[in-house]
Structure formats: structure tokens, C-alpha cells
């Protein structure tokens, strides 16, 4: 998803991100600015209730579970309906310089399911 260089705060959206494959990169944002500060990672709009799910999602600055943890992996059980959303906790407050971020599915839901993700960051270039 491209960013708007005319604003400092840039949203990046991911729709229908599959959470039914453990230990995988569920989505990748590439082509990001060379220096960003992630300010928000909001998971919302589940395709099914996740109230009893073990699905666990986080955000890293490298593929395949490598690199730094940007957003602490957490259970998505708060997403019991499409009306719910989950603002996830930032683990790293440093500037990210990799130009890419990866939503990492640590534990799978166990059945086909998707969520939408809103990523916000400050463009520090």
C-alpha cells in the first residue's frame, strides 16, 4: 500500500488477511519510507467470531519471524463480532528503517477466517 508523502501520518490498510496458517507472514507492507515510527496497529472486521480462538497476530520488521517485534503478538479473542476492534500494543518505539513490515500469524485460528488491519505510522524521512 502506497503512502501519501504530503502528510506525516500515513495509513496503510490490509483487507481479508487470513489468520488460519500458523507461523506465517499473513500480510506484508512493502515500499514504506526509509524511516517510520509505527503509531497504531488496529485489527478489526473479523469474518467470524474469534471469541474462543487461539489466533495470535503481531507485527515485525522482517519476514519469516525474523527481525524486531514492533507489535507484541496477542490473541484476537476480543474480536467477537464485526463491531469489535483491537488496538494492539506497541513493543518497539524505535524508528523502523527496513522499508517493510510484516503482520505475523503466530498461532492459527484453526478454520478459515480473515481480519482487516489498519496500520498507521509517522513518515520521518
Please write the tens of the pLDDT for every residue from 28-67.
999 999 999 999 999 999 999 999 999 999 999 999 999 9
Q: Does residue 81 have a pLDDT over 90?
A: yes
Structural class in CATH, domain 9-123 = mainly beta
Distances (CA, A) of 71 to 14, 82, 96: 16, 22, 12
Tens of pLDDT, residue by residue over 18-32, are 999 999 999 999 999
All structural domains of the chain with their residue ranges: 9-123
Cell numbers linked to 47: 469474518
Residues 43, 27: Cα–Cα separation, whole Å: 12
pTM: 0.90
Burial string for 53-72 (b: 16+ CB within 10 Å, else e) reads: bebbbbbbbeeeeebeebbe
Residues 84, 76: Cα–Cα separation, whole Å: 10
| Mean pLDDT on 74-100 | 95
Amino acid at each position: 500500500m502506497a503512502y501519501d508523502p504530503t502528510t506525516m501520518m500515513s495509513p496503510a490498510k490490509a483487507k481479508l488477511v487470513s489468520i488460519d496458517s500458523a507461523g506465517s507472514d499473513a500480510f506484508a507492507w512493502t515500499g514504506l519510507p526509509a524511516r517510520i515510527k509505527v503509531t497504531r496497529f488496529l485489527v478489526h472486521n473479523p469474518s467470524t467470531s474469534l471469541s474462543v480462538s487461539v489466533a495470535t497476530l503481531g507485527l515485525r520488521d522482517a519476514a519469516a519471524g525474523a527481525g524486531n517485534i514492533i507489535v507484541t503478538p496477542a490473541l484476537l479473542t476480543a474480536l467477537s463480532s464485526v463491531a469489535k476492534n483491537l488496538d494492539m500494543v506497541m513493543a518497539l518505539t524505535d524508528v523502523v528503517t527496513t522499508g517493510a513490515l510484516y503482520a505475523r500469524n503466530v498461532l492459527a485460528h484453526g478454520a478459515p477466517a480473515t481480519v482487516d488491519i489498519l496500520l498507521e505510522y509517522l513518515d520521518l524521512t
